[in-house]
Structures are given as C-alpha cells and as structure tokens.
Chains A and B, each alone.
Chain A
Amino acid sequence: MTGFLIRRILQAIVVILGVVFIVFLLGKLIPGGEAAAALGPRRSPAQVAHFNLVNGLDLPIYDQLWRYFWGLLHLNLGYSFKNNEGVKELISQRLPKTLTLVGVSTLVALIIAVPLGILQVVKRYSPIDYLLTSGSFLFYAMPPFFLGFLLILYFSFDLHLFPVSPPIDSGPLTIFTDPRAFVLPVITLSAITIASFSRYMRSSMMDALTQDYVRTARAKGASPNRVLYGHALRNALIPILTLIGLSLPAIASGALITETVFNYPGMGLLTVTAATNNDIPTVLGTTLVITIFTVAGSLLADVLYAIADPRIRFGSTA
C-alpha cells in the first residue's frame, strides 16, 4: 500500500507541475503579451517597455518560468490590474466558500444516488427502473443553469419557499448555519452528479450480480438480501470512490455555473466576473488553484480507495 501511495502522490505532483506550465504558457499566449492585457488598448510603446521591465517580462522565457514558479511557491499568483488587488487576496476569500459548497453537494449526491442505484437494481426492468433511467437522461441533458433558473422561478418566485440566492455576506460555513438558503444551489450542483452516480451504481451492481462470488453465495444458501447488500453492494461501493475522484473536475465546472446562477461569491463567480471584465491574471489564477484542489481531491479519493480495498490494503503492489 505504501508503494501505491508514493506512486500516486508523485503522479499528482507531476500533474500539478504540468498544469502550472500550461497556465504559464496560456499567460504568454495573450495576443500582445501581458502588457497589452494590463495596460489596455491605448498603451504607448514606452509604457509597454516600462511594464515589461518592471515585471521581468523582458527576461528569457525560462527565466520567466522559473520566476513564475518561484512566485507560486511563495503563494504569489499574480496581480489583478482590474481589481487593483493581488489574485491571492481575491482567491483566499472565495476558495473556502466553493470548497464547502462542492463538499456538501458531493456528499448529498452520494447519499441520494447510491440508494437510487440500489432501488433500480432491486426493481430492475420494472417501471420504476425505467422511470429513474429516463430521469437520469433528462438531468444529464439539461444545462445546469437552466435547471437553476427553473428552480428559482418555481421555488423562489412562485412558492416563496427558498431565497433566490444565499445571503450576500455568506461565509464558508453559512451553508451549515443557514441551510435553507443553500437548498436550491445544492440541488442544482448535485443533479448531474446524482444522474451519473446512480447510473454507475446500477450498472456496477448489475455487473456484480453476475460474478462468481455471488453465485457461490447463492449456492451456499445466502438470502437474496444478504447477497444483494452483503456481497454485490459492498463490491460495487468501492469503485464509486474512484468515480468521485474522476468526477471532481466536472463538479468544479458545475460549481462555476451554480455560483453564477445563484450569485454566490465563490471561485466560479470570481472567474466569470473576471472573464467578463477581461481580467486575465485572475482567470488564470483561479484556473490554476481550482485545478490544484481537484487534483488533491482525486488523490484523497484514491487514498480512501486504497484503504477500502483489501487487495491494495494488504498487497505490496497495486
């Protein structure tokens, strides 16, 4: 298991270094250079030269990469000229809010999707099964922002059940102290995840039911419930940890949409506002930080997988 973990951590570090490099390159690919992005269309050549000199943009490219990397190690994510504030300062207030929203939504999605998948297996090929399958098709096809709008139109405007958006001054923990304000965002963010997780759960359990160990358990006289929950479910649950890890980038994209629909000031809304203001340093900074956190999240999911799966827990090789 130690070998598996070390290999997995090294892999995550390589991925993060690669992403740092990609984001660095994106910054270099701005037409006209970073000076054009910062100084705007009415820049003079003298201003550009001065900007490049002050920010070290006249240095050779490998020197710039090293300085960028060195800056990142000191948590220097660049400077937002549009907000007149460091990107790190902008992100540090918003990142925790996104993390709690994503965490709670993923947990809710799991709590709903796993029983749904089991229900579909228990009632397989029944009307309920077909209904739930069609439902997952529908939620997969519906753009999340459309779902968010519909929820706001019905539950906020027509029924006045939930507020249109979480309070303006929400902190990262408001989701626990004022859950009512977060019902609609959490539904919006978890809908697609529920659709894909429950589909996976269904096929994974159906697959487990055809395995030899299930036939053995039946032959030994285990009750249908014991076969279903003791054998099929336990084996189908472990891979879902990997699925969560793989889904994290998609969930982060979903959070961007959800935060924008519900005006919740997290990383996603920050990115969208920066994009509409043409604030490239902030867009690149949020992209880098959110990617580092998704990679870390996938790593965590794999560690949990290693702990949960006895074949890795007791084996020396993965």
Chain B
Amino acid sequence: MTLPDEATPPLGPEDLLGPVAPAPAGDIVAPADVHAMPEGGEVSSVGGMGRQILRVFIENKLAVVGLFVIVFFILFCFVGPLLYHTNQNNAELALNANQNASPGSGDPLGTDATGFDMLGRLMFGGQASLIVGFASAFVATVIGVVYGAVAGFVGGWIDAIMMRFVDMLLSVPVLFLLIALVTIYKQSEVLIIVVIAFVSWLVPARLVRGETLTLRVREYVEAVRVMGGSRTRIVGRHIVPNSIGTIVVFATFQVADSILLLAALGFIGLGIPAPGTDWGTMLSNGVNSAALGYWWEIYPAGLCIVLVVIAFNFIGDALRDALEVRLQRN
C-alpha cells in the first residue's frame, strides 16, 4: 500500500520544514508537466515509506493471522459454492428433505430445520454478510470523508451546523435508528447496505474533519492556494490523500462493525429476507433447534461471525500501529 508523506501532526519546526517538497519553481517545466509532477504531500514517490509500513504490518503476527482468516472466508464463501454444490433456494426441499440431520451423513455440518445443508448455507449466508460488511463500510467511509473534509475545510458556521447534525445523529442509539429505517423502508440487501452506511458515516466524518483542520493550515496547502489551486483540488488531491491513514484504519474497523450490525438485524428478524440469509439470521433461526440439542445449527454461524470480526479488528489495530511509523521515522 502506498501512503502519503505528510500526514503527521506537526512535531517540531525541523520536522515541518524537512520533508516539504520544494514548490516547482516554474523555470524549466513546461505547463503541461505541472499536473504530472509530485506536489508536496501527494501520494506518489513514497516507495521506502510504503515498504516500511508493510514491514511493520507483517511483523505483527496477529495481523497476518487476521489476513489469512479473511482470505480464507472470502474463498470459502465465494469459491466454495462452486466446488461444493448444495440446494439453497428450492421450495421442494422442505417437502422431502431430512431436517435437523446430524453432521456426517452426506451433510458434513448437518442440516437445519428447513432441510438446508448447513455447510452450503454457511457459504451462502457468508456471501451476504461479507458483501454487506464491505459495501456498507465503503459507502459510510466515502460519505464520512466527503462530509468531514467539506466541513473542516469550509469552517465557520457551516462547519458548526454540519457538526451539530453529526452530534445529533450520534446520540441516537444505533440499533433503534437502524430498526426505524428498516421498518419504514422494506428490507432488501441493498437497503440494508445503505441503512447501515447511514448510521455509520458519523465517526469518519468527525475524524476527517479533525485531520482537515490541522492539514488546511499546512505549508503545502498554502502553497497550492498561492499557486491558484482550486478548493476542490486542495481537498481532493491534498487533504483527503493525507488523511488516508485515518480513513483506512476506520474503514477496516467499520467492516467488522457492519458485520455485527447486520448480525443484530438478522437476530431481530430484519436481516436478509428469505430465501436469502446471513450469518445473524442463521444463528437466530437455529436457536430453538439448539435448545433441542442440534448444536450444529448455531455454533458454526456464531464462530464465523466471531472469527471474521476478530480478524478485522486485528488488521485494524496493526494498520494503526503501522501508520504510526510516520511518527517514529523522524
């Protein structure tokens, strides 16, 4: 991964002056080349830094374990069904299938109360959980970054109003807001992604606004402004890329949180609607059967959620440590 050179908070005068690239003097450069040149604080030309961050990340054994777990689950959920064919949406199944069959006999993880093969169901439900987790984290991050960067950069009373709005939404307990939204608009996979993103963009908005406030007064931003760079250019090419560390760390943790939120919705009965499913819905459906001794209907799904969430948390922690390399380097 590539990272910007300049996103550290000010440490001291020499630190501030040191890495700032000299502004193109304009004596030899043809006008057309200006866009291709690295300006101060841009994302290019950081090979050494990127490698250093990668090294710190790999030294963190938990993060590598987390990465393996996530790659495993992506392969399991998306490639698995190609190798292990099961019937996951056939209405006939309920009529003649063997329900609540114990693991072993033809179904490695048994079947559930409807007769679905549990191993195939885990792959099928995992697709929804992972897609919703990644997609809603992505949407939330994009909304939050744009909102926070605009608020921080514009400043003044617009910033104050925008941030009070964030405070208001943050004080509404997430699940209540989520349930209200899902009840008002009927549930579907796309709606659930949008709605989870809608309750999750507040934290990155705050983080990016904070970064923007410190970045907008930095020398290279001043330099771009003096050279006549537009506001869009300053925010889009300098402020956002320099907050990328914060953004990436947030997005990683948010995938875990989104998966947990989807699981909570599934538990309430507002998850992915039938015939689709997700790990939370599977867990919730399996509870009555588990009380009768059919343990395989809850433990595998529960284990999948816990493993994936822990894995994302490990990676998020490691990324946060790795990105602090920038602080340690000078």
Find residues 139-165 in chain B having any chain A CB closer than 8 Å to their own CB: 164-165
Residue interface mask B279-308, A partner, CB < 8 A = 1: 010011001001100000010001001100
What are 6 A-B contacts with C-beta separation under 8 Å? A22-B172, A31-B185, A150-B302, A249-B170, A280-B180, A287-B180
A-to-B contact residues, CB < 8 Å: 14-15, 18-19, 22-23, 26, 29-31, 137-138, 140-146, 149-150, 152-153, 157, 249-250, 252-253, 256-257, 260, 271-272, 274-276, 278, 280, 283-284, 286-287, 290-291, 294-295, 298
Known A140-B313, A146-B302; judge A26-B172 contact (CB<8 A). no
Instruction: Give 8 nearest A-B pairs by CB, closest first.
Output: A18-B168, A141-B309, A252-B173, A253-B175, A287-B176, A249-B173, A141-B310, A145-B267
Q: Does B184 contact A (CB under 8 A)?
A: yes
> Measured between alpha carbons, how far is A31 from B186 in the docked complex, in Å?
10
- Would you call A250 and B171 a contact (CB within 8 A)? no
Closest to B167 in A: A15
List of A residues within 8 angstroms of B291 by Cβ: 152-153, 157
Q: Which of B170, B173, B180 interacts with A284 by CB under 8 Å?
A: B180
Q: A26-B181, A276-B270 known; 12 other A-B pairs, CB under 8 Å? A: A15-B168, A23-B180, A138-B306, A141-B310, A146-B306, A149-B298, A150-B302, A153-B290, A256-B179, A275-B180, A283-B176, A287-B177
Interface residues on B, range: 35 or more
Smallest Cβ distance from B318 to chain A, in angstroms?
A: 13
- Give A291 to B263 CA distance when docked, in angstroms: 22
In the complex, what residues of B have CB within 8 A of residue A141's CB?
A: 256, 260, 305-306, 309-310, 313
Q: Are B176 and A286 in contact (CB under 8 A)?
A: yes
Complex-state Cα separation, A310 to B309, whole angstroms: 40
Instruction: Give which listed residue, B175, B280, B306, contacts A142 with CB less than 8 A.
Output: B306
| Contact in complex: B179, A249 (CB < 8 Å) | no
B305 nearest in chain A by CB position: A143
> In the complex the two chains form, what is the Cα distance from A141 to B307 in whole Å?
8
Asked whether A283 lies within 8 Å of B180 as measured between CB atoms, the reply is: yes
A81 to B240 Cα, complex, angstroms: 48
B164 / chain A contacts, CB cutoff of 8 Å: 14-15, 18
- B residues within 8 A CB of A257? 175, 264, 267
Q: Could you tell me if A143 and B267 are in contact, using CB atoms closer than 8 angstroms? A: yes
A283 surroundings in chain B (CB, below 8 A): 176, 179-180, 183
Q: A22 touches which one: B168, B175, B182 (CB < 8 A)?
A: B168
User: Which of A19, A145, A291 is close to B284, meaning CB atoms less than 8 Å apart?
Assistant: A145
Given A146-B302, A271-B179, A283-B183, residue A253 in contact with residue B263 (CB < 8 A): no
Which of chain A's residues has its CB closest to B303's CB?
A: A146
The A/B interface has a contact count, at CB < 8 Å, of 135
What is the CB-to-nearest-CB distance from A7 to chain B, in angstroms, rounded to a whole number? 13
Closest Cβ of chain A: how far from B269's Cβ, in Å?
6
What 1/0 mask marks residues of chain B from 188 to 231 whose CB sits below 8 Å from any chain A CB?
A: 00000000000000000000000000000000000000000000
Judge if B16 is at the interface, Cβ distance under 8 Å: no
- Is B174 an interface position by the 8 A CB rule? yes
Q: Does B169 contact A (CB under 8 A)?
A: yes
Residue in A22, A137, A149, A150 whose CB lies within 8 Å of B313: A137
Interface residues of B (CB under 8 A from A): 164-165, 167-177, 179-185, 256, 260, 263-264, 267-270, 280, 283-284, 287, 290-291, 298, 302, 305-306, 309-310, 313-314
Say how far A44's CB is from chain B's closest CB, in angstroms. Answer: 22
Known: A26-B181, A29-B184. A15 touches B171 (CB 8 A): yes
Q: Of all chain A residues, which has the CB nearest B172? A: A291
| Pick from A146, A153, A271, A295: contact of B305, CB under 8 Å | A146
Contacts of B309 in A (CB 8 A): 140-141
B107 CB, nearest partner CB in chain A, Å? 22
**Would you give the shortest CB distance from A122 to chain B, in whole angstroms?**
23
Q: Once the chains are docked, how many angstroms separate the CA of A18 from the CA of B182?
A: 21
CB B316 to nearest CB in A, in angstroms, measures 11
How distant is the Cα of A157 from the Cα of B182 in the complex, in angstroms?
A: 34
Residues of B within 8 A of A252 (CB): 173, 175-176
Q: Report the separation of the CA atoms of residues A271 and B182 in the bound assembly, to the nearest whole angstrom.
A: 12
CA of A189 to CA of B298, assembled, Å: 20
Chain B residues near A295 (CB-CB < 8 A): 171
Whether B165 contacts A18 by the Cβ 8 Å rule is: yes
For B171, the chain A residues whose CB sits under 8 A away are 15, 19, 249, 291, 294-295, 298
B287 surroundings in chain A (CB, below 8 A)? 149
A140 nearest CB across to chain B (Å): 7
Residue of B nearest to A144 (CB): B264
Choose one: A260, A275, A298; the contact of B183 (CB below 8 Å): A275
CA distance A128 to B165 in the complex (A): 43
Task: Kindly identify which residue among A15, A18, A253 contacts B176, using a CB–CB cutoff of 8 Å.
Answer: A253
Q: How far is the CA of A144 from the CA of B284 in the complex (A)?
A: 12
Measured CB to CB, the nearest residue on chain A to B286 is: A149
Complex interface: chain A residues within 8 A of B179 (CB): 256, 271-272, 275, 283, 287
**Chain A: minimal CB distance from B243 (Å):** 23
Q: Report A-chain residues with C-beta under 8 Å of the C-beta of B267.
A: 143, 145, 257, 260
Question: Which residues of chain A are within 8 angstroms of B177 by Cβ–Cβ distance?
Answer: 287
By the criterion CB–CB under 8 Å, are B173 and A149 in contact?
no
Closest beta carbon of chain B to A155's beta carbon, Å? 13
Residues of A within 8 A of B167 (CB): 15, 18
Distance, CA A30 to CA B184, complexed state (A): 6
Residues of A contacting B180 with CB < 8 Å? Answer: 23, 26, 275, 280, 283-284, 287
A263 to B283, CA, bound (A): 17
- Given A146-B283, A146-B305; A260-B173 close (CB under 8 Å): no
Q: Are A26 and B184 in contact (CB under 8 A)?
A: yes
